[in-house]
């Protein structure tokens, strides 16, 4: 099983000026979040957003989303707003579907990959 890594999360969000949540809070959140998808990406703002969401750091994710350009910010807002949807390879999904387990493929890393790689779905 793929596991999240607290140090990766800290490195990514810190690179964009966000104070990470404490490790104990991070560990508690891991009990309720779905397993991460194994997507390897270089450090980017979108990766930092995905790691913040996957870590349960909603405040940090919001700060990071607000640093995005208009297009990416709009996409993240669609993904994170319940009742709204992000378009992914002809499919529509949102964060709620991922968290609820309804759509494991609807993970934040998919959004980050698509935004950083011109709409390409991760393999």
pLDDT tens track, the chain, 123 positions: 457 899 999 999 999 999 999 999 999 998 888 888 888 899 999 999 999 999 999 999 999 999 999 999 999 999 999 899 998 878 899 999 999 999 888 999 999 999 999 888 887
Query: Within a domain: residue 40?
Result: yes
Q: Where are the alpha helices (DSSP H) in the chain?
A: 6-14, 23-30, 45-54, 58-65, 70-80, 95-99, 108-116
Query: Within a domain: residue 19?
Result: yes
Query: Within a domain: residue 1?
Result: no
Query: Within a domain: residue 100?
Result: yes
pTM, full prediction: 0.93
Query: Within a domain: residue 122?
Result: no
**In the chain, how many domains are there?**
1
Query: Within a domain: residue 55?
Result: yes
Which domain, by its residues, includes 46?
6-116
Query: Within a domain: residue 121?
Result: no
């Amino acid at each position: 099983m793929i596991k999240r890594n607290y140090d990766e999360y800290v490195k990514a969000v810190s690179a964009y000026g966000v104070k990470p949540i404490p490790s104990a809070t991070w560990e508690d959140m891991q009990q309720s979040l779905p397993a991460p998808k194994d997507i390897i990406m270089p450090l980017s703002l979108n990766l930092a957003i995905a790691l913040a969401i996957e870590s349960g750091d909603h405040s940090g994710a919001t700060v990071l989303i607000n640093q995005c350009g208009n297009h990416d910010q709009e996409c993240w807002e669609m993904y994170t707003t319940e009742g709204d949807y992000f378009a992914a390879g002809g499919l529509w999904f949102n964060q709620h579907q991922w968290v609820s387990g309804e759509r494991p493929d609807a993970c934040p890393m998919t959004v980050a990959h698509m935004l950083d790689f011109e709409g390409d779905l991760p393999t």
